[in-house]
Amino acid sequence: MSVVFRLEAPYRGEYALHRLTFGGNGPAAVAMVAGLHGNEVNGIQALNLVAGMLRVMRPKRPVHLLPCVNSIGADEARKRWPFDDRDINAAFPGDPEGAPVERIAAAVMDATDAELCIDVHSGATTVREHPHARVPLSGPELEHARAMMLPVVWRRRGDRYEGGLVGAWRGAGREALQVRGGRGLALDMDDATTLARGLVRLLAHLGLISHQDTGTPSHDTDHVQDYRSMAGGFFVPEVQTGERVVSGKLLGLVRNPLGGEPIEEIRAHKAGMVLAVRVYPMVHAQELVVRIAEDAT
Amino acid sequence: MSERLEEICSIELPTGESVGVHRRRFTGGLGPHVAIVAGIRGDTPEGTRVAHAVARHLSTHHERLCGTVDVYPCVNPLAAHHGARHWPGFDLDLNRRFPGRADGHAPDRVARTLLDATRAADMVIELRGAHPAFREETQAHVRHDQPVALERALRANVRVVWRRSAELQGTGTLAAELPGLICLEGGVGNRLTDGVGLELCDGVLNLLVVAGVLPEDALPFHWAAIQRPLVATDEDIVRVRATRGGLFLPSGRMWGEVEVGTPLGEVVDPIAGETLEMITAPVAGRVLAMREQPVVYPGSLVARLVAT
């Protein structure tokens, strides 16, 4: 483990950006980043599981892991950089002479100079997400995502990658994708483990390690439907992430938080897999309550 | 001629309660339409104070109005309720949600409603406070390619008119959607600052005269009292940053003239107390903003100068 960047942190010593590197010499093949958002602990756990595997597998080329970029945010269970409440993921590609988050962002870019870069996130604190990869509609990232065999591959238009670390990596000419799973502020062990297994499968697919882990091909789709509550209330889900649903399936009920009378039934319009479910029940009108990765038609 | 309090949007809360977003509409016959918007973020009470000060003047002079003035005293009431920058619960910056969505959640719906209500106005004035970590001199921001907005902003009773590039205005802001918008700010974030509210109130009233909504003799001051601002481009605004982490102790004076090398403050070790860095002006100019929240990291902004 090495410290690739330091920043004086008043009252508490310093901020240090740690990088773990596994494998031989030469240019790095893969870089994985987690914890840009300090409260997204599933990504941190996933990379630590990957680190445990790489300690014994010794990849043929260097693999960089940055398991917890926003360590001060993680200390305080906060998504953003606590000092000035800025989102590090909104500061890319960064500036080595700029504000603290811009310096950290620039350091992350420098520390992840690899052919393939992966950014690992959790869902929001109010929403649990089933482990999935977000990739462009075509290209090498799509093949990488399929090799991971995460439960879902969400193919998205290129203009959905304008900002953030993935956008900056792609702007720098690197192959890049994002994987997500679980929710913020909570350790969802199953989701973190699924993410880690997918990342290790990818390293094996790239020929960097020898590893056999059979998996099921992903639910691969570019049709993802958000279901939102029409009215505010108390959302009680009737499904779980990863569950298969058919058209018409009851996804959940919005109830009156004071008395429990039903306000709204939310049902699936099409068959698919539940990609995300709201776990914090107080819901405003038009907030996301369920997301379905629809079956290809 | 009338004065009305109107709810432009209702925010339904999960518990069944609702909170309204309001405007105070002053109408005085045919004439231009001016919108004055405050409180897009919840930590800018100075803007709300100015909006009400302007509205109070219009209340006593609305028979002199030629046109319509809409005053939006606080478009993010839930954040203002506890002095937070972002919309609570959603944790969203409302000034990154424009143009919003009519069928979206509450922040997006408020953004869209406000944009729809102001898009056709002849003049839109946004009132902001400073960032909570800073004290700012009064200033107007206009887009560099908007000559009419610049001409008007010169009469907004501010120290500086900053002609900003579109990129620096950020995406998702109200200003990005309304290129002719004039943004006024000053004071200290989440605080009321002596003098600043009055300066900005006078500036807004003078802008109403410039727009032709209010006759000059309805001003509570003589027009000659309006300040003549410096006009600055992005290149003229110089950001001064700490290179060490610690406590920044300012020594510069707001709007004070500085030469190259004039001390602006020092960064000291917060525990041992020794000086880690002396910070001096890199250019000659005036102090436009000074850090008030003293904890700094390497790279933290400590002052903003206008080069002269």
pLDDT above 70 covers what percent of chain A?
98
Residue A161 has pLDDT above 70, yes or no: no
- Are residues B287 and B260 both part of a single domain? yes
* Per-residue confidence (pLDDT) for residue B134, from 0 to 100: 94
**Residue B176 near residue B98, CB atoms below 8 Å:** yes
Where does the pLDDT of residue A160 fall: very low under 50, low under 70, confident under 90, or very high at 90 and above? low
* Per-residue confidence (pLDDT) for residue A12, from 0 to 100: 84
Q: For chain A, how big is the Rg over CA atoms in Å?
A: 20
- Are residues B203 and B246 both part of a single domain? no
- Are residues B124 and B170 both part of a single domain? yes
Cβ-based contacts of A184 with chain B (< 8 Å)? none
Where does the pLDDT of residue A184 fall: very low under 50, low under 70, confident under 90, or very high at 90 and above? very high
Where does the pLDDT of residue A212 fall: very low under 50, low under 70, confident under 90, or very high at 90 and above? confident
A&B contacts, CB < 8 Å: 83
- Are residues B176 and B240 both part of a single domain? no
| Domain termination residue (choose one: B228, B243, B267) | B228
- Are residues B245 and B101 both part of a single domain? no
- Are residues B170 and B67 both part of a single domain? yes
Pairwise CA distance, residues A73 & A6, whole Å: 16
Q: Would you say domain A2-219 falls under CATH 3.40.630.10?
A: yes
d(CA A157, nearest CA chain B) in Å? 20
Judge: A8–B13 Cβ closer than 8 Å, yes or no. no
Q: What share of chain B is helix, strand, coil (3-state, %, to 5)?
A: 25, 35, 40
Which of B13, B95, B105 to mutate to probe the A interface, most A CBs <10 Å? B105
Tell me the pLDDT of chain A averaged across its residues: 95
* Per-residue confidence (pLDDT) for residue A24, from 0 to 100: 83
Burial annotation A151-164 (CB, 10 A radius, 16+ → b, else e): bbbbbeeeeebeeb
- Are residues B239 and B171 both part of a single domain? no
Residue pLDDT, tens place only, B248-274: 999 989 999 999 999 999 999 999 999
- Are residues B52 and B106 both part of a single domain? yes
Cβ-in-10-Å burial (0-12, 13-18, 19+) of A174 comes to: middle
Name residue B286's amino acid.
R
* Per-residue confidence (pLDDT) for residue B171, from 0 to 100: 85
- Are residues B15 and B144 both part of a single domain? yes
- Are residues B183 and B300 both part of a single domain? no
* Per-residue confidence (pLDDT) for residue B47, from 0 to 100: 96
* Per-residue confidence (pLDDT) for residue B223, from 0 to 100: 86
pLDDT above 90 covers what percent of chain A?
92
Q: Which of A85, A97, A282 is the closest to B14 by Cβ? A: A282
Residue pLDDT, tens place only, B126-163: 999 888 899 999 999 999 999 999 999 999 999 999 99
CATH 3.40.630.10 positions along chain A are 2-219
| Domain termination residue (choose one: B201, B228, B255) | B228
Domain count, chain B: 2
What is each CA distance from B183 to B45, B85, B129, in whole angstroms?
A: 15, 17, 10
Where does the pLDDT of residue A107 fall: very low under 50, low under 70, confident under 90, or very high at 90 and above? very high
d(CA B299, nearest CA chain A) in Å? 4
CATH 2.40.50.100 positions along chain A are 223-294
What is the domain range of residue B18?
2-228
Task: Report CA dihedral (A265, A267, A269, A270) to the nearest 10 degrees.
Answer: 180
Q: How far is CA A263 from the centre of its chain?
A: 33
- Are residues B83 and B182 both part of a single domain? yes
Q: How far is CA B271 from the centre of its chain?
A: 36
d(CA B223, nearest CA chain A) in Å? 40
Residue A104 has pLDDT above 80, yes or no: yes
Residue B251 sits in a domain whose CATH number is 2.40.50.100
Question: What top-level class would CATH report for the domain A223-294?
Answer: mainly beta
Name residues of chain B where pLDDT drops below 50.
Answer: none
Complex ipTM more than 0.85, yes or no: no
